[in-house]
Amino acid sequence: MGKYLKTPIDIDMTNQFASEVLRLDFDNPTLKKWYDTEGYEGSELRKYLTEKCNVKFHQEKYGEYTMFPLHPKEKD
């Protein structure tokens, strides 16, 4: 009940939108609400942001994550 199938286009659109919101406003409360979500959607969003947007997450407690920016690696 209430389940629906997500297509790859839906997932891609959500991820791109989240990365743009992150770029414009790192402390956006709506983005935090969605990456704090437990379950498939929240974990996939955290995974995408970690891989593509140079951030990391630390779980404070169930359903609450803190996002930290990673500094780019310096070349020798």
Residue type, 30: T
pLDDT digits (tens, 9 = 90+) for 8-30: 888 899 999 999 999 999 999 99
45 within 8 A of 53, measured Cβ to Cβ: no
Q: How confident is the model at residue 74 (pLDDT cuts 50, 70, 90)?
A: low
Task: List the alpha helices (DSSP H) in 1-76.
Answer: 8-24, 29-35, 40-52
Residue 42, pLDDT above cutoff 80: yes
pLDDT value, residue 68: 92
- Tokens, residue 36: 């704090």
pLDDT value, residue 1: 45
Per-chain mean pLDDT for the chain: 87
